[in-house]
Amino acid sequence: MKEYNDYFAANKDLWNQRTMVHKDSSFYNLEGFKKGDTVLTPIELNELGDVNGKTMLHLQCHFGMDSLDWARRGAAVTGVDLSDEAIKEASQLNDELGLKATFICCNVYDTSAHVTELFDIVFTSYGTIGWLPDLQPWATMIVERLKPGGTFYLAEFHPVVWMFDDDFTHIKYAYENREVIVTENQGTYTDRTAAITGKEYSWNHSISEVLNALIGAGLQLRLFNEHMYSPYSCFRNMVETEKGQWHIKGMEGKLPMVYSLKAIKAE
Ligand SMILES: C[S@@+](CC[C@H](N)C(=O)[O-])C[C@H]1O[C@@H](n2cnc3c(N)ncnc32)[C@H](O)[C@@H]1O
């Protein structure tokens, strides 16, 4: 993946800047989380089910809120993320809450060089695979880190959403992964006016690319769902039709906003 190192370095810098804004944002509700609010959404809670007593590897865990939510539900969690600021925050939060999660700073592609344990569950969600240029080595690493019979779970924004311009007025990008998408940053999804600067580099991944990467690495698909709402208000021009169900204004119920899947490593 050496050819992508400049892109990863730029993205790391941006995620470090974002972490400092996100941790104090109402979007992430860190104070509520510390008091016991859940930050996981009904999608993964219903589809992944009981994690008590399970070991879990959380890929691209950001500053650890979802990881620690799973830990509060009884999972033994290891989180990995590219951003050293995010991992620092996650580790502090873990200590403050008296939990026993482990956090490791690394590129997700290098996970197996840093983590040798095998897990019952590998989990990743909402805004992760778009930072990855190639899903084949990612899927190979997931299989490497799962126990036989273990579960991979992904909840992600639907590739259709990433075809639009920021204001959702027209289709700007191809559905499939054709090339790196370079964007000049203005703020972040928790604060559009935040003083965050720099280019970001991302890739669109069609549903077939995701499924073929996982199947090609040897996983067996057990669940696949498309959700017509987003559990997060993280794009511009969104409206909430029911509590926790967000849509692009004017396209309510017409666009798939999120998909989720579960796949098993054979025994
Ligand atoms: C939108 S957040 C993801 C997760 C979660 N839904 C959340 O909001 O807390 C994306 C995360 O991916 C991480 N990331 C981006 N590229 C990465 C890479 N190549 N390897 C590991 N982590 C990466 C970023 O540092 C960031 O913390």
Q: Give residue 131 CA to ligand 1 midpoint distance, Å.
A: 8
Is 131 close to ligand 1, i.e. is its CB under 6 Å away? yes
Is 123 close to ligand 1, i.e. is its CB under 6 Å away? no
- Is residue 192 included in any domain, yes or no? no
SS3 letters across 34-60: HCCCCCCCHHHHHHHCCCCCCEEEEEC
- Is residue 11 included in any domain, yes or no? yes
- Is residue 164 included in any domain, yes or no? no
Mean pLDDT of 149-163: 98
Tokens at 112, concatenated: 């197996």
Q: Give residue 61 CA to ligand 1 midpoint distance, Å.
A: 6
Phi-psi region of 191 (alpha: psi -120 to 50; beta: other; left: phi over 0): beta
- Is residue 30 included in any domain, yes or no? yes
- Is residue 33 included in any domain, yes or no? yes
Q: What is the DSSP letter of 158?
A: -
- Is residue 26 included in any domain, yes or no? yes
Mean pLDDT of 198-205: 96
Q: Is the pLDDT of residue 216 over 90?
A: yes
Confidence of residue 87 (pLDDT cuts 50, 70, 90): very high
51/72 Cα distance (integer angstroms): 10
Supply the CATH number for residue 111's domain: 3.40.50.150
Atom of ligand 1 nearest to the CA of 16: 25
Asked whether 86 and 19 are in contact (CB, 8 A), the reply is yes
- Is residue 189 included in any domain, yes or no? no
155/47 Cα distance (integer angstroms): 10
Atom of ligand 1 nearest to the CA of 132: 19
Domain extent, residue 112, equals 2-157+175-181+202-229+258-265
46-57 pLDDT per residue, tens = 999 999 999 999
Confidence of residue 259 (pLDDT cuts 50, 70, 90): very high
Overall domain count for the chain: 1
Q: Is the pLDDT of residue 192 over 90?
A: no
Would you say the pTM of this structure is higher than 0.85? yes
Q: Number of H helices and number of E strands within the chain? A: 8, 11
Q: What are phi and psi of 75, to 5 degrees?
A: -85, 150
Q: What are phi and psi of 48, to 5 degrees?
A: -90, -30
Asked whether 63 and 86 are in contact (CB, 8 A), the reply is yes
Nearest CA to ligand 1 atom 26: 62
Count of CA atoms in the C-beta half-sphere (13 A) of 215: 10
Query: What percentage of the chain's residues is helix, strand, coil (to nearest 5)?
Result: 35, 25, 40
Is 107 close to ligand 1, i.e. is its CB under 6 Å away? yes
Q: Is the pLDDT of residue 186 over 90?
A: no
- Is residue 9 included in any domain, yes or no? yes
pLDDT at residue 77 in the model: 99
Confidence of residue 197 (pLDDT cuts 50, 70, 90): confident
Q: What angle do CA 208, 61, 137 make, to 5 degrees?
A: 40
When the pLDDT of each residue in the chain is averaged and rounded to a whole number, the result is: 96
Tokens at 166, concatenated: 């920021």
